Homo-oligomer: A and B are copies of this chain.
Amino acid sequence: MIWTREKRYQPYSAYSEADKETLAEQVSSSVYKPAFHIHPTSGLLNDPNGFSYFNGQWHIFYQAFPFGPVHGLKSWVHCVSDDLVHWHNLGIALNPGNQYDSHGAYSGSAQVINDKLFLMYTGNVRDKNWQRRSYQLGAWMDENNQITKVNQPLITAPDYVTEHFRDPQLLKVNDEYFALIGSQDKQNLRGEFSLYKTQDLKNWEDMGYIKHNLGDMGYMVECPNLVYVDDKPVLIFCPQGLPQNILPTDNIYPNVYTVGSNLDFKTGTWYSDTSTLMQLDAGFDVYASQAFNAPDGQAYLISWVGLPEINYPSDKENWAHCLSLVKRLKVVDNKLYQIPVTAMSTLAVAEQTLPQNQQVLVTDTKQQYELKLDLDSNQTGNLLLASDGTSDNGLQLQFDTNNEGYLIVDRSNVGEKFATKYGETRKVNVNPHKKLSLDIFVDHSICEIFINGGEQVMTLRFFAPQTQTMIAFSEQNTLKYSGSYILLSDM
C-alpha cells in the first residue's frame, strides 16, 4: 500500500473492521511479536503517554496509528496493569477529530486530580495548506475509564514559538499546577522548555522558557519530562539536532537526561551542580521516555522502543514498535539508574543455572527470557544471543573486564538489517578490572540490557529468525562467571 497523506489522515471510520482484523492478525502471527512488552494490537505504536496510577491501577497510554506501520492520524490507546508487568490493552481511549485535534491527539501526560485522571495532550490541526497549529488540550477520565474532553484549549501557542509546541507534562507543585512543554523558538529556531502555571486548569500563565545552563539543545526539544528521584529533579527529554560536541550520540535523535539540584518554579530556573547531559539509554532504539512520581514513593520510567524517521523490518508486516519494560529509577552520584521492577519475577516459569566450560549456555531459549550473567574481572569475550551455533551469527555482546572495560553490542550479524546508516554497534565504558553484571531481557525482537545494577541500559530491537535460539560464547569457553537463565511467560 502507498501511504499517501490522504490515506494517513482519513478518519478511522474510513477503515473497515475487516481491515483492522487483517492488521491485528498480522501482528498476532508475527514471529517478532513481543510476549511481555506492550506492543500495538495493529499498526503503529510510538510515545508512551499519561503514565500514572489511578483508581487502584497503573495506567499507560500509547500513541497509535492502528491502520498501518506509518505515522498517520494519531490516537491514544489505553493499557492498565495491577503490577507494572502484566498489561491489558483496552483499545483506543482518546480519539482525534474535533476542531482542536482534527489531525491527531498527540503526546501528553496525566495527573490524578480529585477523583479523576486529568489528561493533558497536544491537539494537532492542519489547514488547507497543510500548515500545522498545535493546541494544548485537556480531558477528564473517570473511574470507569470514560473520557470527556475539555471544550476549549488549555493553552494556545504564544506568538514567539513556531508550530513546534507540544508534549505537555502536567505537574502538581504544592497547590499549583505547571505544564512543561517542548517548543521551538520562532526567532532562532532552537529547542526550548516552555513553562506555564495555573491554579484552576483554565487560566494559564505563560512563564516563558526555563532558564538553564545546558547549552544549545538543538532545533527542537521533544517530550520534556521532569521527575524527582531520590530528592533530585531529573529532566528527561529528546533534543533534536543536538550538536555532537555537547553530547556525542549515534542515534538519529537521542533521549537524554540531566540531574539538577532544583527547578525553581517561581522563576522558572533550572539549577544544577554539574550541568552534565547524559544519554538515557546507550542502545539503538529508545525515545520519548516518560517517567512519573508514583504514590508508592518510587519513580517509574517507560520508553518508546523505536525512533522517528527510521524504517523497521516489521513495517512490511504492517505493524511497528513496542514499549520498553517499566523501569524503577534511582539516582547515585548525579547518575540515573534504571532497574527492572521486582514484579518481573512473576513472569518466571523456570530458572536454570548457567553451565561452566561449555560454549553453548542455553540451547533453546524460546526467545523470551531473562539472562543474569556476572562476569569476573580481567576477561574478554563475545557472548551471542539469538545464536544459531556458528561463531558469528547472533546479537553480539563483546565484553572486556580487563584493561579496557567496555561492553559493545553489535547487531550487524543478527537477521534483517535496518538503520545501518547510524551504525551497527553501540558501546558503553565500564570500569576496567571490575566484575561486570548484566541483567538481560530478550523478548523475540527486543533486547534490554541492564548493566551493573542499572547504571547503564542498552535497549534495542533486532529481527532474527526465531530458529536462532541459542545463547553461546563465540569461542571455546574458559571464562569465569556465574548466572542463570530464566524462561519468562507471556504477560
Contact = CB atoms under 8 A, between A and B. Distances in A.
Contacts of A245: 240-241, 252-253, 309
A243 B218 CA distance: 8
Contact of A243 (B187, B219, B427, B429): B219
A248 B188 contact: no
A244 B252 contact: yes
Interface stretch (A81-89, A105-113, A139-147, A417-425): A417-425
A248 B421 contact: yes
Contact of A216 (B219, B248, B253, B429): B219
Nearest to A408: B425
Contacts of A421: 248
A411 interface: no
Interface residues of A: mostly helix, strand, loop or mixed? loop
Contacts of A216: 189, 219, 241
Given A189-B188, A425-B425, A251 B240 contact: no
Contacts of A249: 244
A404 B422 CA distance: 16
A412 to B, nearest CB: 7
A240 B243 CA distance: 7
Which interface class (under 10, 10 to 19, 20 to 34, 35 or more) fits A? 20 to 34
A197 interface: no
A464 to B, nearest CB: 15
Interface string A275-303: 00000000000000000000000000000
Interface in A110-126: none
Interface in A157-198: 187-190
A206 interface: no
Contacts of A412: 404
B248 A250 contact: yes
Contacts of A422: 244, 248
Contacts of A250: 244, 248, 250, 423
Given A243-B241, A404-B412, A423 B190 contact: no
A254 to B, nearest CB: 8
A451 to B, nearest CB: 18
25 contacts: A187-B187, A187-B188, A188-B188, A188-B189, A189-B190, A189-B216, A216-B219, A218-B243, A219-B243, A240-B245, A241-B243, A241-B244, A244-B252, A244-B253, A244-B422, A245-B309, A248-B250, A248-B252, A248-B421, A248-B422, A248-B423, A250-B250, A404-B412, A423-B427, A425-B425
